[in-house]
């Protein structure tokens, strides 16, 4: 039994197009409609045949949907919600895939006070954007965190859970604020650090940019993957999750100062103890199926 018969996806980039592909692969009888503000994206999705219908407006795309998923940058969610709230059927469920959740829930609550709101965050992605970057197996084995408001209908939450399970994801249900704190440390802070390191390296004067690129296999290149992530998406995430990110950044700065002192005073034991603990974290990530166990992320060295 399928949880939904008519799904509408607003925003057809990496995540939206991956959902469309995964729905096609796993629930082929579901009718898919889509909309994207960018006409080039709409044309590309039509050419790829990812949706049954690609509408020119958000309102037209949701008119007979029973699930609407907003897959736009978090800063655009309030705007899109306002555009389609009047047209969405009263019994349809509104959801999204935004990377921060408290602000999104507030924005959706303002426009869908009398509807079922079940926000979601699939913790899966790549550094690429746009409809050509999507793929059907993106969510396979990854976690999808649902952050429904306290008064959400359990049946609506269950239907959205089943939908994501059908796409291959595992479900966790969390309070939106807690989600934002957890993701601040597991996702947002690592992105901020990567953006900083890559920015610092490209600003150096005594080491040329060509040297930075040439010797990047020493570690730098692994940061460049994260720092290549979509600028619009990440600008919006930091602005939306300001409080949690600033809290984690404060803790990070304190820990960095401790390391700085250990290096200054030649405290090798402190460095060794920390590096031993962090190595164990990497082992846990692999053991829990969240990354490839092959050395060097499975890069070939032929
Ligand atoms: P993306 O590839 O850039 O796709 C977003 C699409 O939404 C773009 O085609 C964009 O058009 C369109 N758009 C922007 N504003 C719009 C509006 N007002 N109405 C309709 N369409 C609009 O980005 P993405 O990576 O799929 O990210 C989408 C959402 O998923 C974000 O909220 C992000 O936080 C979340 N998310 C991302 C990842 C990840 O790793 N990328 C993982 C989990 C969750 P343009 O081409 O004009 O920009």
CATH number at residue 205: 1.10.3660.10
Q: What distance in angstroms lies between residue 267's CA and the mean position of ligand 1's atoms?
A: 45
Determine the Cα–Cα distance for residues 178 and 240; give it in Å rounded to an integer: 14
For residue range 243-301, list pLDDT tens digits in order. 999 999 999 999 999 999 999 999 999 999 999 999 999 999 999 999 989 988 888 87
For residues 168 and 59, state if they share a domain.
yes
Percent of the chain at pLDDT > 70 equals: 100
DSSP secondary structure, 124-147, as one string = ---S--SGGG--TTTTTT-EEEE-
Where helices occur in 63-125 by DSSP H, the ranges are 77-84, 102-111
Mutate which of 9, 10, 12, 14 for ligand 1 pocket (most atoms within 8 A of beta carbon): 14
Domain-located, residue 84: yes
Q: How many domains does the chain have?
A: 2
For residues 147 and 22, state if they share a domain.
yes
pLDDT recorded at residue 230? 96
For residues 152 and 200, state if they share a domain.
no
Q: What is the CATH number of the domain that holds 48?
A: 3.40.50.720
pLDDT recorded at residue 53? 98
Assess whether the C-beta atom of 134 lies below 6 angstroms from ligand 1: no
Among protein residues, the one with the nearest Cα to ligand 1's atom 45 is: 38
Assess whether the C-beta atom of 99 lies below 6 angstroms from ligand 1: yes
For residues 96 and 136, state if they share a domain.
yes
For residues 159 and 230, state if they share a domain.
no
Residue given tokens 């976690």 in the structure block:
143
Determine the Cα–Cα distance for residues 264 and 268; give it in Å rounded to an integer: 10
Domain-located, residue 52: yes
The secondary structure of residue 30, as a DSSP letter, is S
Assess whether the C-beta atom of 15 lies below 6 angstroms from ligand 1: yes
Strand order in the sheet with 116-117: 53-54, 31-35, 6-10, 67-70, 93-96, 116-117
For residue range 165-174, list pLDDT tens digits in order. 999 999 999 9
Q: What distance in angstroms lies between residue 233's CA and the mean position of ligand 1's atoms?
A: 7
Domain-located, residue 279: no
Residue given tokens 């197009």 in the structure block:
17
For residue range 85-135, list pLDDT tens digits in order. 999 999 999 999 999 999 999 999 999 999 999 999 999 999 999 999 999
Q: What is the mean pLDDT of the chain?
A: 96
Domain housing 34 = 6-174
What does the chain come to in residues? 302
This prediction's pTM:
0.95
Please count the CA atoms within 13 angstroms of the CA of 186 that sit on its side-chain side: 15
Range 11-21 average pLDDT = 98
Q: Which of 148, 174, 200 is the last residue in one of the domains?
A: 174
């Amino acid at each position: 039994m399928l949880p939904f018969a008519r799904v509408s996806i607003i925003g057809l980039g990496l995540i939206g197009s991956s959902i469309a592909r995964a729905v096609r692969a796993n629930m082929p009888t579901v009718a898919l409609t889509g909309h994207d503000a960018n006409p080039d994206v709409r044309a590309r999705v039509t050419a790829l045949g990812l949706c049954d219908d690609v509408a020119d407006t958000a309102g037209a795309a949701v008119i007979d949907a029973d699930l609407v998923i907003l897959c736009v940058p978090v800063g655009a969610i309030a705007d899109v919600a306002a555009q389609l709230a009047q047209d969405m059927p009263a019994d349809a469920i509104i959801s999204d895939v935004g990377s921060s959740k408290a602000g999104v829930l507030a924005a959706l609550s303002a426009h869908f006070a009398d509807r079922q709101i079940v926000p979601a965050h699939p913790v899966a992605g790549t550094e690429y954007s746009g409809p050509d970057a999507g793929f059907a197996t993106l969510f396979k084995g990854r976690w999808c965190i649902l952050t429904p408001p306290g008064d959400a209908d359990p049946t609506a939450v269950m239907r959205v859970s089943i939908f994501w399970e059908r796409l291959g994801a595992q479900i966790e249900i969390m309070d939106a604020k807690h989600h934002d704190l957890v993701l601040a440390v597991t996702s947002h802070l690592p992105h901020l650090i990567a953006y900083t390191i890559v920015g610092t390296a490209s600003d150096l004067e005594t080491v040329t940019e060509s040297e930075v690129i040439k010797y990047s296999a020493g570690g730098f290149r692994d940061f460049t993957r994260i720092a290549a992530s979509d600028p619009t998406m990440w600008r919006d995430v930091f602005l939306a999750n300001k409080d949690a990110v600033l809290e984690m950044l404060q803790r990070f700065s304190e820990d960095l100062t401790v390391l700085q002192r250990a290096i200054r005073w030649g405290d090798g034991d402190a460095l060794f103890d920390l590096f031993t603990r962090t190595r164990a974290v990497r082992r846990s990530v692999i053991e829990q199926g969240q990354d490839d166990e092959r050395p060097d992320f499975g890069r070939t060295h032929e």
